[in-house]
Amino acid sequence: MSSASTITRHLRIHGLVQGVYYRHTTIQTAQRLGLQGWVRNRLDGSVEALASGPADAVQALIDWAHDGPPAARVDRVDVSEGLAHEPLQGFVQRETGSPRFQCNK
């Protein structure tokens, strides 16, 4: 796969990732990388994100997600192919989501 190929990935980040500016720094990192998508807290204490853009930039966000901001403690990052159910514009924060919602099928 070429690094210029556009890909979309769904991330679920587990650990101490709420209340430590994880969403805010995800947005900053994704915007710096030129990605489209969103990030939000989940009711189960995880953080969920959907990132779309050049393969190398998406991979850079995934790599960053394993560490997150300084106050975070990331236990694991689950990554799967993502589907955008609506056009993505910019990288934004969304409202907290239910653990039953599935971003991808």
Residues annotated as part of the active site: 23, 41
Mapping DSSP to helix (H, G, I), strand (E, B) and coil, where does residue 39 land?
Answer: strand
Q: Are strands 36-41 and 91-93 parallel, antiparallel or unpaired?
A: parallel
| Residue whose structure tokens are 């101490």 | 16
C-alpha–C-alpha distance, residues 92 and 90, integer Å: 6
Q: 66 vs 10, 11, 15, 43, 46, CA distance in Å?
A: 14, 10, 10, 20, 13
